[in-house]
Amino acid sequence: MEWSDKHLMAFAKRYPVALVRGEGVRVWDSDGKEYLDFTGGIAVTALGHCHPKVVGTMREQAATLLHVSNYFHIPQQIQLAKLLADHSFADRVFFSNSGAEANETAIKLARKWAKEHGGSDRGDIITMRGGFHGRTLATVTATAQEKYHHGFEPLPGGFKYVAFNDLKALERAIDSHTAAVLVEPIQGEGGINVPDDGYLPGLRKLCDEAGILLMLDEIQTGMGRTGTLWAYEHSGVTPDVLTVAKALANGVPIGATLATDEVAQVLTPGTHGTTFGGNPFSTAVGITVLATLIQERLPERAAAMGRRLRERLLALQERHRGAVKEVRGRGLLLGIDLVPPVGDVVAACRERGLLVLTAGDNVLRLAPPLVVPEESVDRAAAIIGDALGALRA
């Protein structure tokens, strides 16, 4: 930790814990202390730590072929693209290495599509206040939260912000310069903000009327986390573009931008690229993860375990009225809007062997693996209750 202070750029405030081993929903630190991991590596380890199928694929692919380049056909990349297309609205996929890169690709796609379909002055992307889309210059600008912008100006142009869950505000903001709307179906980092049921259908309608693209950032909500493979499935409408990363390869870096044929065709050879994106290793793991999610019906499991966890959190809210303002979220992406400082609750949970996340201003965020057993759900809720009780005492 002394070397960490000396040699790492201090971009994150780290907890005084070094995690060294994991299995399923459990992790151990360098002192041998065991924790229940309800962070899932920030909604990444959907199949849990060291899932035998994931480990098997990694071993096999690492010993067969790790990396070539996109000048060659990569069978695993083709198969993962087909699997994603077979299980979504999309026809085509571009693979990258992170969520931010997946969103960068979406932004580039939208601008090129709009120029080819609406005129040279159409390039603006409208995003929602409180959203989160990444840390590269374009995606941090798409992230309509000034606290992430401070000090990095000048920011790239062509982004406009409106209030989340406000269709009227969006309608007013769309003009002849707009290319697309980019939005999370549920705001994750922003505080587990769930919009009204009519919001996504309303967005679809406004985008269709204006002839602009609807792009969903499902980097946190995708891969079964909200109880369906993609969160848009709850809404009855489909997007034109969708981005996914985080859980797609259970921790091996990967990002993917999914699009309809009509939109995807604007990326012609030479217009975009990547060295690592879609390499045999990350896409082989992606196939294993996505196929396992589908075969083992893990989105349904996330819905059931999410209901169980939510029930227990609502019971906690009853018991700790002064400490819990609201429980919100969907499936296994849940937030507890707290009265006491969330940092104190996170620390009290950690002392009791439970790792949790924060979000928004003062929200405790839970994103456990989708394979979480019932007894771990119950135990996590009991620890949170104990932590809240101890802080009040």
Ligand X SMILES: Cc1ncc(COP(=O)(O)O)c(C=O)c1O
Catalytic (active-site) positions = 132, 217, 246
- Distance in angstroms (rounded) separating the CA atoms of residues 159 and 137: 12
- Distance in angstroms (rounded) separating the CA atoms of residues 13 and 146: 19
Convert residues 280-299 into a mask of x (bound to ligand X by CB under 6 A) and - (unbound).
--------------------
Out of 106, 245, 249, 332, point to the residue binding ligand X (CB under 6 A). Answer: 245
- Distance in angstroms (rounded) separating the CA atoms of residues 284 and 324: 42
Considering just the CA atoms, what is the radius of gyration of the chain in Å? 21
Residue 124 or 217 having the CB closest to ligand X: 217
Near ligand X in 128-167, by CB under 6 A: 132-134
Identity of residue 5: D
Alpha-carbon distances, residue 312 vs 33, 122, 224, 315 (angstroms): 26, 48, 21, 5
Which two structure tokens, joined as six digits, stand for 172? 């007013």
Convert residues 31-70 into a mask of x (bound to ligand X by CB under 6 A) and - (unbound).
-----------x----------------------------
Residue 226 or 376 having the CB closest to ligand X: 226
We find the least distance from the C-beta atom of residue 347 to ligand X, in angstroms, to be 22
Strand, coil or helix: 113: helix
We find the least distance from the C-beta atom of residue 325 to ligand X, in angstroms, to be 22
- Distance in angstroms (rounded) separating the CA atoms of residues 298 and 225: 9
Total residues in contact with ligand X, by rule CB under 6 A = 15
Residue appearing with tokens 């007894």:
375
* Side-chain-facing half-sphere of 3: CA atoms under 13 Å: 1
Residue 189 or 337 having the CB closest to ligand X: 189
Q: Does 279 bind ligand X (CB under 6 A)?
A: no
CB closest to ligand X, residue no = 99
H/E element holding 107?
Answer: helix 99-118
Q: Does 104 bind ligand X (CB under 6 A)?
A: no
We find the least distance from the C-beta atom of residue 371 to ligand X, in angstroms, to be 21
Near ligand X in 170-209, by CB under 6 A: 184, 188-189
Q: Under the rule (CB under 6 A), what is the footprint of ligand X?
A: 42, 98-100, 103, 132-134, 184, 188-189, 217, 219-220, 245
